Amino acid sequence: MNKKINIVLIMMMVFSFLLKGETIINDIIFKYSDIVFYSALVIFLIKTIVLNIIKNIVKIKDRKYKISDFAKSSLYMFLISSIICGTGFMMGYGRKFSAVLFYVGLIYLFICLFFIIKKIEIIEKISFKNMMLFLAFLLSFSNVFSFNIYNTAGKAVTGIYEKYEEMSKSIFFPIQKAFAVSITGKQLTSRKEKFITEEQMNNHRDMLEPGDILVRRNNWQLTNGGIPGFWTHSGLYLGSLEKLDNYFSGEEELEGKKFSEYIAEKFPEIYENYLDNNPEIIESIAKGVVLTPLNNMFISDYFAALRPKLTKNQKFKAIIKSFEFYGEPYDYSFDFNNSDELLCSEMLYNIYKNDINFRLRFVKGKIFYSPNDFIKQFAQERDGNGMNFVIYLKGSEKNKKAYSENQAELKRSWNYNKTELLFN
């Protein structure tokens, strides 16, 4: 019976993973697939842990226990806890679950140590039951002491767990990061050319203005399975130095200087990058926050641009803010509370959060805002969430080309049924 339950739970997790993968789901089903996956996983883990605890209690009761049983159980709890905690699995919820497993592991370790001491006859006459009763009695009268046992013990254990959490992250985070880097750019297709061509990019380049929010998607990429929604990457359009000079000409904060002269003084590294590479966008990718040419985002399978309804002064400040993030590493922990590491959408959120009302949402216990959320909020709010439509180029798997689409079609895109896209 137990094996059958395990098989069913594993099948649920595999099915959920397939649903989350490429071209099968829309945004709503993505959420349900997450629920199925994590429900099956949590049930599997809890069932395993509860059965393990019951099994050990029965062994103690029947006096058939072995010290090695508790040592193995303790190591098992610590290992699972460390993996969940160290990888950031299940995000905020994972940390709570990891803490529970850690404390269960500590209890097993205490029991193990008790029986080791008992075995070497240091406390041969004290039974396990009497030891538990004594501890309960001691805790119940803890207020008699000058310190509170609950608080003191709690702080000590919490401190141990925090050190344990840091150690787990230092072990597993590099592995998690290496895996994420290894699948970045990998595709489940032999097709090398994107649907959007260089000619289309050049024809639409003049439609873009500094400060525009860009989103894109490439079909069949392995990383798509881990990003909620249709749109999977975002960036900020800057334009060439000449375009920036013209656009911000007369901006009060430049004090009579050209934009290029201003950044040459304030951000010499970025200015040198412009002179050497002529980039047009700033984005957060695996290498971190970098300046890249427009084709890095535009030449894709799907591309769209939105324009914040802001003054030039607000856009100027947003672009300057983006330059301050230049060189920051990519956020592989997906933590919006930490601006020292940035996801692509997290960078845009931090740039425009004082000017645009982004509706952050909770995903697995952490606040989050995906590239797809830019389009979703644009579609659902009456004023487009303070943004205007600029461009939408929609790819076609059937014709292997991209076509210019209107605002109404872009508003539909956040919740596309990806199965339909295979035949259109």
Burial of 424 (0-12, 13-18, 19+ CB in 10 A): exposed
Higher pLDDT, 207 or 192: 207
pTM value is 0.71
Smallest Cα–Cα separation from 88: which of 367, 364, 371? 364
**pLDDT value at 21 more than 60:** no
Tokens of 67: 């010290």
- Does residue 196 register a pLDDT over 90? yes
The reported pLDDT for the residue numbered 411 is 95
DSSP calls for 275-332: HHH---EEEEETTEEEEE-THHHHSSSEEEEEEE---HHHHHHHHHHHHHTTTPPB-T
Residue 286 in contact with residue 329, Cβ under 8 Å? no
Conformation bin of residue 229: beta by default, left when phi > 0, alpha when psi is -120 to 50: left
Asked if 203 and 217 count as a contact pair (C-beta separation under 8 A), the reply is no
DSSP count for the chain of H helices, then E strands? 16, 9
Q: Does domain 198-421 have CATH number 3.90.1720.10?
A: yes
pLDDT tens column, 266-310 = 999 999 999 999 999 999 998 899 999 999 999 999 999 999 999
Q: Are 219 and 397 in contact (CB under 8 A)?
A: yes
Q: 339: exposed, middle or buried (C-beta count within 10 Å: 0-12, 13-18, 19+)? A: middle
The top-scoring range by mean pLDDT among 31-40, 76-85, 168-177, 284-293 is 284-293
For position 78, what pLDDT does the model report?
Answer: 76
Measure Cα distances from 108 to 50, 144, 213 in Å. Answer: 13, 29, 53
Check whether 147 has a pLDDT greater than 90.
Answer: no
Question: At 365, is the pLDDT very low, low, confident or very high (cuts 50, 70, 90)?
Answer: low
Coil vs helix vs strand at 215: strand
Answer for the pair 291, 281: CB distance below 8 angstroms, yes or no: yes
pLDDT digits (tens, 9 = 90+) for 331-340: 887 778 777 8
Please write the tens of the pLDDT for every residue from 231-245.
999 999 999 999 999
The side-by-side arrangement of strands in the sheet containing 213-217 is 288-292, 281-285, 233-237, 213-217, 302-308, 387-396, 401-404
- pLDDT at residue 24 in the model: 39
pLDDT in tens, 351-363: 999 999 998 887 6
Higher pLDDT, 404 or 25: 404
| Encoded tokens for 84 | 């969940």
The domain ranges of the chain are: 2-171, 198-421
